[in-house]
Homo-oligomer: A and B are copies of this chain.
Amino acid sequence: MSEVYAARRTRLRDHCQAGGSQSALISRPANVRYLAGADPHGAVLLLGKTEDLLVCADPPDRRPTEGHLDEALRIHPLPGAGGDAAVAAAGLAEAQGGDSLAVEEHHLTVARHRAIRSVAPRLRLTDLGGAVEQLRVVKDEEEISCLRIGAEIADQALGELLESILVGRTERHLALELERRLIDHGADGPAFATSVATGPNSGRRAHRPTDRRVEEGDFLSVCLGATYRGYRCEIGRTFVIGTSPADWQIELYDLVFAAQRAGREALVPGAAYRDVDRAARHVLGSAGCTEGLAPLTGHGVGLEIDEDPQLAPAAMGKLDACVPVTVEPGVHFPGRGGVRIDDTLVVRPEADGGPELLTITTKELLAL
């Protein structure tokens, strides 16, 4: 794996040098992990003029960390407690004879930026922007394989839940049980806070589980994901509790299903992000659902659960092959409930069979 990380750092270094910076300071944890294999607590990565260094207060041998640090990287421990790795790294960059340093202005705070300026006054600080995030958008097959395993784990956890008795149990307990099952099946942990929403809560995006109990006739929306080797996927389904869904439930489900299918079918290399969003949104809008829709239809996933691209009305850019995204339209009527259906897919060319569905739990309306 060491070559993978070295190759990523080379791409970033080329980008920086094209922009006139000799060195770069990576502080956003997911970006550190992408380039170094692991992100020990508080660590930053210095792509230096003469050497790359991982600067950290808690070296991986003293405090366990997820991932496996690229052994080609030298670790520079912070002397003493309470030091700031970013500030120390800037000092090292200056000591290496660099005269410019690109930093992640969207991650560094104003206070840390000022401390860097003061410890390394000869360095010209520039903005690296989202350069690492952009490198992360297109995944290699190793990364996709981690997402695929994570999706299998989430499918298994969800499948087991559906076989258990649900009526009378609270949203909070169901969410905890799902998280336990994710770990039972080999996840590092949940990819995000598991959402279980019943009755009037169903269909709400990122609903935080409450003590409400599942009742006959409820819609039940579940959204969960597994983290596997750092990679995070997402699946969301809506079920009905009891034997016969009401007419409004069937109609609403069919509508959201049609919107989600339209979004999935729009996932082709070269499609504009906004067109994927529009495909799903149009289905909902033409049925009169325009109020209270989420600001996006889907988003990239990877080392973070919410990455670029955003599939949203004002998003700029086009899909590439090997970009994993969610497609997750939903409708929620306050006081009444609603439906969300959410898959993780990988964009693939038509010749390779079109979008690869990672989360394969059925999207039929199940009555549980």
Contact = CB atoms under 8 A, between A and B. Distances in A.
A48 to B, nearest CB: 21
Interface string A186-202: 00000000000000010
Contacts of A296: 81
B183 A176 contact: yes
Interface stretch (A30-38, A106-114, A154-162, A357-365): A106-114
B313 A204 contact: no
A135 to B, nearest CB: 18
Given A172-B183, A205-B63, A206-B63, A81 B313 contact: yes
Interface in A146-188: 172-173, 176, 179-180, 183
A137 B201 CA distance: 36
Interface in A91-113: 103, 105-111, 113
Contact of A111 (B61, B62, B64, B105): B105
Q: Which has the most chain B C-beta neighbours within 10 Å: A113, A179, A208, A310?
A: A208
A180 B313 CA distance: 40
Given A106-B109, A208-B64, A81 B295 contact: yes
Given A81-B296, A81-B313, A81-B314, A64 B176 contact: no
B63 A204 contact: yes
A207 interface: yes
A317 interface: no
A91 to B, nearest CB: 19
A196 to B, nearest CB: 13
Nearest to A210: B64
Contacts of A113: 110
Interface residue SS majority, chain A: loop
A66 B179 CA distance: 21
Nearest to A175: B183
A82 interface: yes
Contacts of A314: 81-82
Contacts of A103: 110
A292 interface: yes
A312 interface: yes
A238 B227 CA distance: 29
Contact of A207 (B64, B179, B292, B312): B64
A207 B108 CA distance: 27
A238 to B, nearest CB: 18
A312 B80 CA distance: 11
19 contacts: A41-B206, A62-B292, A63-B206, A64-B201, A64-B204, A64-B207, A81-B295, A81-B312, A81-B313, A82-B310, A82-B312, A82-B314, A105-B109, A106-B110, A111-B127, A173-B180, A176-B176, A176-B180, A180-B180
